[in-house]
Amino acid sequence: MIFVTVGAQMPFDRLVRTVDAWAGARSRADVFAQIGPTDRRPDHIEHARFLDPPIFRARVAAASAVVAHAGMGSILTALELGKPIVVMPRRGDLRETRNDHQVATARRLEEMGRVRAAFDENQLTDLLDRIDELTAAGSIRGCASDELLDAVRTFIHGEGS
C-alpha cells in the first residue's frame, strides 16, 4: 500500500490531484491518502480527511512507501519506521504555504539521501512510476540521542559556562 499524507493543517490539492491521476492512469488500487481539510475528493484512491495519530502511524507502518508534503512530522514518522518516502514540498509562490521552508527542507533531506523529492507534478509522476523500486534510507531513532539531550540540558541550565 502507498500511503499519501498532506498533514493536518491545510489542504495540498496539487499533491493529491497528481497522485489520484497517476493511480487512475496506472490502475493502482493500493493507494490511500490523508487529504486534509479540502472539499476536493479524489476519484481513484481511497481517502480520509484526517486520521487519529495512532491510525496515522499504523498506516505508515503498513505502507510499502509514503508520499507526503515536506512536513517534518510526516517525514520523521516515515524515517523512524524505515519507509521509503517521496516528498513534494508546498510552494510559497503557489500560495500553498507562507514561504518556501518546505522546499528548503526537501532539498536538504534529498542531499542527505533521506528522501526523494519532487518539485513539480512531472517529477512526482516520474517518482511514482518507480515507487515500487524505492528503498528506505534506513531508519532513525524515535527520540533524540543522549548526547543531544545532555547538550540541550547543559545549554538550558547554563552549566559549564
Neighbours of 48 (CB within 10 A): 13
State the residue range of the domain holding 56.
2-157
pLDDT tens string for the chain (161 positions)?
Answer: 999 999 988 889 999 999 999 999 999 999 999 999 999 999 999 999 999 999 999 999 999 999 999 999 999 999 999 999 999 999 888 888 888 889 999 999 999 999 999 999 999 999 999 999 998 887 777 777 888 888 999 999 986 54
The span from the CA of 71 to the CA of 87, in Å, is 9
Q: What's residue 118's pLDDT?
A: 98
Beta bridge partners of 117: 87
Domain count of the chain?
1
CATH of the domain at 40: 3.40.50.2000
Q: What is the pLDDT of residue 159?
A: 64
- The sign of the torsion formed by the CA atoms of 53, 15, 137, 72 equals negative
pLDDT of residue 142: 77
Sheet with 2-5, edge to edge strand ranges? 46-48, 31-34, 2-5, 65-68, 85-87, 116-117
